[in-house]
Amino acid sequence: MSTSPEQLSTQGIAAGWHPDRVTRVRALLANHQIDALIVPRWDRHHFEYVPLANEWLAYLTGFSGSWGMGILTQEELILFVDGRYQEQAHSQPNAAALQIFHLHDYPPAQWLEECTQEGWRIAFDAQVLSPTAHDQLAKACKSTGATLLPVVDGFIDDCWPERPAYPLSLANVVSDEWAGQSVTTKCDAVAEWLRCSGAAFLVDVLPDNVAWLLNLRGRDLDYCPVLLGRILISDDGKVDLFANAEQLADAERALSERVTLHQPNDFLNIIAKRAKSANTILLDGTQGPQAAREMLERHGIRVLQQTSAITHLKAIKNATELGSMADAAMRESGAWVQLLHWLDRQLDDGLTPSEFDVEGKLEEFRWKIPDYCGCSFRTISAADGNAAHAHYAAPAEGGRLIRKESIFLLDAGGQYRSGGTTDTTRTWCFSEASPEALNDATLALKGHIALAGQTFPDGTLDHNLDVLARSAAWQHYRDYDHGTGHGVGHFLSVHEFPQRLRKEVSGTPLREGMVITIEPGLYRNGVHGIRHEILYEIVAAPQTGWLKFKPLAFVPFCRLLIDLSLLDESETAWIDHYHQQTREQLSTLGLSADERRWLLNQTRPL
């Protein structure tokens, strides 16, 4: 076996699946008297993205989706995936070699409860599994008399000859001025939080939390400028950073004096050392790791399982962060206007660019922005029926062409070195829309306006606002099967926690200084997908104790997709005001005369 170019992507790793992979892991398990191995999609960082080197689930099962879990026994290879991925899993080339279950309807814990036997030894990587996941699996094992066995690393690395290299990008320290706050100030805020919780220190494995706290950025992952580090921070504001020293070679001198650097493998040892004088520590139960929790509890230390203090503090952006995020979103809006103008002209000229062409063209316009440094997620450039797929990625060849009669959805975001992460969606058409498309687009727009125009009490729980974006669609028996909005980072993750607008309980109080998307949509399988997404800052309303949304991105809505007969006066006024702001905001961007004319026309009062 040799390294193949297929190893350069998750899809490549999955496509290269061969039964030998499974045979090798089984042999290793047999050597260690292990009866079953738990293989999650995530790694030690519980982040949205994992480096290729940690695509264990793709390697073992050939499944390339973004979420799932595998269990390997000597007899079976089992894959658990959610509703989004049922079709993909069942049609992947090696599907016959798998047992595929629904992650929610028949979760791994239930399989363990029904299919394991007394005396079985079931291995999991205790630096990867979270306490929450561990407890579910442990409870199931207990019921059959099986043992859940923590191991160091998950066995697969040793059976993966052509495993991609673990990322070792050079990290850099950003200035206090750029971040708007010094590391000292941030660490003091976390320390204060810990003292209020009565906790001696906090364990945090989230790379974007590490990046924010230490004013550090890296390039270990696509789409998100982070270093794959983990930290402890104590109630005196001192930080232990666990990361590869070579990645910090350039940055180490600039690191705050609060920070002590350790090799990643010292993580548990240092936790043990710091814990000697601790009664209580904080750790996010959904992240962990279980290895730390187990060790601490064994020594009689109380482990408070809570969302990290850093996740909460990072969510409230400071004035500098908000300023650079607004600036980046405004400049990216210019690229969108150029793209949409270009697309209109292409179709006027009788051309039919492909989805992939449009995706590339947007990149071309964005790379002209001096501090642009890449996408914040894989662009969704989708025409007609393709836009009804949740996470469509246009292929270089064979995607749809955009024609006069197309309904075209573009969902894209960028990373900006001056300090911004963006996320925008527009749906466009180029001739009279079908009644269904016109209706769906207008209902989704009404939902967007109802939520975006809402004033609400400071501290309103995020999920409580979700229904405002659905109300208009529900009156027509229409709904969308995704959340309504998510937090966005400051040159960090485009899906930042903790705030979420969605039906499910999230429970985060909304506060001034948070940044969040609003993105209701409506979809018809095989026909079209419509979504209207804008990035908003949560700002103080004129009356104390009340908040509202202020748009950060300014891209016109497609006039051909607005049915004025469905809008009331206040909704029309909202759109006109947003379009007027769009004209004003983008006036300084140096658009061409033709682009400016196009923008004026698109943003004239309805």
* Residues that bind a copy of itself in the complex, under the rule CB under 8 A: 450, 454-457, 460-461, 463-468, 471, 474-475, 477, 479, 503, 505, 507, 541, 543, 545-546, 568
Our CB check for a copy of itself shows the closer of 257 and 569 to be 569
Nearer to a copy of itself, 447 or 489 (CB): 447
Contact 379, 396 (CB under 8 A): no
Q: Which two tokens stand for residue 360?
A: 């590339």
DSSP category for residue 4: -
The token pair at 537 is 């800052």
Nearer to a copy of itself, 269 or 455 (CB): 455
Percent of residues in the chain assigned helix, strand, coil, to nearest 5 = 40, 20, 40
Instruction: Report the relative pairing of strands 546-551 and 534-540 from DSSP bridges.
Output: antiparallel
Q: Which of 467-473's residues contact partners 24+ apart within 8 Å by CB, and which partners?
A: 467/503, 469/501, 469/518, 469/520, 470/520, 471/447, 472/443, 472/446, 472/447, 473/443, 473/444, 473/446, 473/447, 473/520, 473/522
Would you say 421 or 508 has its CB closer to a copy of itself? 508
**364 versus 479: smaller Cβ distance to a copy of itself:** 479
Nearest to 388 by CA among 379, 380, 398, 396: 380
Classify 124 as helix, strand or coil.
Answer: strand
Distance between CA atoms of 163 and 177, rounded to whole angstroms? 40
Gap between the Cα atoms of 332 and 518, Å rounded: 17
Question: CB of residue 510 vs a copy of itself: minimum separation in angstroms?
Answer: 12
* Minimum distance of a copy of itself from residue 231's CB (angstroms): 29
Quote the least distance from Cβ 566 to a copy of itself, whole Å: 12
**C-beta atoms surrounding 347 within 10 Å:** 21
Residue whose CB is less far from a copy of itself, 285 or 414: 285
* H helices present in 349-486, as ranges: 355-366, 435-452, 471-474
- Least distance to a copy of itself, CB of residue 195, Å: 17
Closest contact distance (angstroms) between CB of 543 and a copy of itself is 4
CA distance 448 to 519: 7
Residue entry with tokens 């045979």:
23
Query: Which among 586, 49, 538, 512 is positioned nearest to 341, based on CA atoms?
Result: 586
376 in Cβ contact with 415 (< 8 Å): yes
Extract the runs of DSSP E, i.e. beta strands, from 74-181: 77-81, 99-102, 121-125, 147-151, 172-173
Of 81 and 450, which CB lies nearer to a copy of itself in the complex structure?
Answer: 450
Nearest of 531, 534, 530, 378 to residue 453 by alpha carbon: 534
Q: In whole angstroms, give the CA distance from residue 67 to residue 88.
A: 12
Looking at the Cβ atoms of 135 and 176, the one nearer to a copy of itself is 135
| Closest approach of a copy of itself to the CB of residue 475, in Å | 5
* Closest to 158 measured CA to CA, from 125, 180, 191: 125
Shortest Cβ 83–a copy of itself spacing (Å)? 16
User: Which residue lies nearer to a copy of itself by CB, 398 or 545?
Assistant: 545
Specify whether the CB–CB gap between 350 and 468 falls below 8 A.
no
- Our CB check for a copy of itself shows the closer of 145 and 457 to be 457
For 435, how many CA atoms within 13 A lie in the half-sphere containing its CB?
Answer: 0
Nearer to a copy of itself by Cβ, of 327 and 458: the residue is: 458
Q: Residue 97 or residue 467: which is nearer to a copy of itself going by CB? A: 467
Residue 384 backbone class (left: φ over 0; alpha: ψ -120 to 50; beta: rest):
left
In terms of CB distance, is 249 or 505 closer to a copy of itself?
505
What is the nearest approach in angstroms of a copy of itself to the Cβ of residue 569? 8
* Residue nearer to a copy of itself on the CB measure, 57 or 547: 547
Neighbours of 24 (CB within 10 A): 17
Q: How far is the CB of 511 from a copy of itself (least distance, A)?
A: 16
- Residue 170 DSSP symbol: P
Query: DSSP state, 300?
Result: T
Minimum CB distance to a copy of itself, residue 470 (Å): 8
For residue 456, the minimal CB distance to a copy of itself (Å) is 6
The least distance separating a copy of itself from the CB of residue 137, rounded to whole angstroms, comes to: 18
Q: How far is the CB of 132 from a copy of itself (least distance, A)?
A: 18
CB of 46 to a copy of itself, least distance (A): 24
